Structure 1
Amino acid sequence: MQVKVFSVNYFAENTYVLYDDTGEAVIIDCGCAYPTETALLECFLKEQQLQVVRHLGTHYHADHLLGAGYLFRKHKLSPEMHKGDAILPTIEEQARILGLMLREEVPMPQWTVQGGDIITFGHTTLRVLEIPGHSPGSVGYYCEAAGQIYVGDALFCGSIGRTDLWHGNYDQLIHSIQEVLFALPGDTVVYPGHGPTTTIQYEQTNNPYI
């Protein structure tokens, strides 16, 4: 499996394209906010001759879904998310509260993702891990074969996700990190929703918040 990251929008959100030699791909957290960003993403997909088969969401926050309208319009894909986040304000409401501008309507998610789900595309398999705290329905997408996990805003290099947004829970987040993420092999590469990659072992040893 290969991965391409696009750092997009005013929050420098990481939009991930995961793909393999079959040409099938999934996008995790499409946050592209501007036409230039969607154009770069679309150019990459065409250059690599990729077919996007799913749009996976780690959590239902506006900065991670600003490109969902583009993916729905261009590829007929709605974001797939955990139903725990269905209680959050809509992306339109979040954008209004945060003073963000939506260039396209964001489609409602399919609230179908659950912990333990196995997601396949091409020859690649991802397993869903529930890691609530930053939001009630936060999940990680774990590729055991590649030694990678995509965690949204649960864990960062040297930091953790904020819990002062809608229905965030600090104790729950710490539990998710310690009991779920830190149970993974130490050399697992962590792909966060913002900032650089890290590893489980590095965060176990160096993260001052845990």
Structure 2
Amino acid sequence: MNWTQLPLGAIQTNCYILENDNGEALIIDPGDEYEKVENFIKEKGLKPLAVLLTHAHFDHIGALDEVRLKWQVPAYLHTNESDWLGDPEKNGSAHFPIVANYQCKPAEKIINSEQDISIGSFHFQVIETPGHSPGSVSFYFKDKGVIFSGDALFYGSIGRTDLYGGDQSVLLESIHQKLLPLPEETIVAPGHGFETTIKNEKNSNPFL
């Protein structure tokens, strides 16, 4: 499996496109600029199978409906944010004048708990990492040594907790109990900024 990071939109949210040897793809957090996502998929000749949402803030869902319409694929979202896609107050778009009030269709696949999921030949673990938002999850591909952490853990930082449903103590607990115990060489692919590793964040992240 290979993955490509596409920073999208005014806040440069990282969308990740994962591809396997069969030309199948998963799309994580299509936050904006649908055309960039479409062009990448077309240029690579990929077949998307699903959209994975680390959480439902506006900067992670801006191109969601266009992606689903184009490729007729389902979106996966945690149950704690199942009503956020259509609610600008909860997804935050009502409070940022640089974007429209986002009202997306509900997710087709609701994640109710930590679990292993297989989509095509992709196999990964859903790890609940709330705090930045109540339904935040991370997608852990153990065999590839990478976790897509959304806005929980960043290079040298952690997610903000001043938005609807945020809680810093819960976020720190999530990071310490769910992310830092992973193998130190695990690559952390965050929702914003550069990739890092668990070892690097253990050793140098000032918030931890």
Query: Normalization by structure 2: what TM-score?
Result: 0.92
Superposition CA RMSD, Å: 1.9
- Partners of 1:136 and 1:53 lie apart in 2 by 26
- The answer for unaligned runs of 5 or more in structure 2 is none
The aligned counterpart of 1:113 is 111
1:100-142: CA deviation from partner (whole Å, max 9, x where unpaired): 4349852222361144322223432111000111011100000
The 5-angstrom pairing of residues 173-184 of structure 1 reads 173-184=171-182
Given the alignment of the two structures, is residue 6 of structure 1 paired with residue 6 of structure 2, yes or no? yes
The aligned counterpart of 1:128 is 126
Q: Structure 1 residues 6 and 89, CA, compared in 2 at 3 Å: closer, same or farther?
A: closer
Given the alignment of the two structures, is residue 203 of structure 1 paired with residue 201 of structure 2, yes or no? yes
Which amino acid in structure 2 is aligned with residue 121 of structure 1?
I
**Of 143-152 and 42-51, the range deviating more from structure 2:** 42-51
Kept in 1, the 8 Å contact 2:93–2:101? The answer is: no
- Partners of 1:59 and 1:105 lie apart in 2 by 15
Which amino acid in structure 2 is aligned with residue 81 of structure 1?
L
Which amino acid in structure 2 is aligned with residue 165 of structure 1?
L
Which amino acid in structure 2 is aligned with residue 21 of structure 1?
D
Which amino acid in structure 2 is aligned with residue 130 of structure 1?
E
Moved over 6 A (4+): none
Which amino acid in structure 1 is aligned with residue 174 of structure 2?
S
Query: What is the CA-CA distance between 1:88 and the residue it aligns to?
Result: 4.7
Q: Secondary structure at the match of 2:82?
A: helix
The aligned counterpart of 1:191 is 189
- Partners of 1:106 and 1:100 lie apart in 2 by 17
- Partners of 2:159 and 2:79 lie apart in 1 by 20
Given the alignment of the two structures, is residue 75 of structure 1 paired with residue 71 of structure 2, yes or no? yes
The aligned counterpart of 1:171 is 169
The aligned counterpart of 2:20 is 20
- Partners of 2:164 and 2:109 lie apart in 1 by 18
Kept in 1, the 8 Å contact 2:88–2:102? The answer is: no
Q: Structure 1 residues 111 and 47, CA, compared in 2 at 3 Å: closer, same or farther?
A: closer
Kept in 1, the 8 Å contact 2:58–2:102? The answer is: no
Query: What is the CA-CA distance between 1:175 and the residue it aligns to?
Result: 0.6
1:25-84: CA deviation from partner (whole Å, max 9, x where unpaired): 11010112xxxx322321221222211111110011000000112112211234310011
- Partners of 1:208 and 1:101 lie apart in 2 by 31
The aligned counterpart of 1:55 is 51
- The answer for unaligned runs of 5 or more in structure 1 is none
Kept in 1, the 8 Å contact 2:85–2:105? The answer is: no
- Partners of 2:101 and 2:166 lie apart in 1 by 27
1:146-188: CA deviation from partner (whole Å, max 9, x where unpaired): 1000010000000000111111111110010001001100000
Kept in 1, the 8 Å contact 2:145–2:187? The answer is: yes
Which amino acid in structure 2 is aligned with residue 86 of structure 1?
S
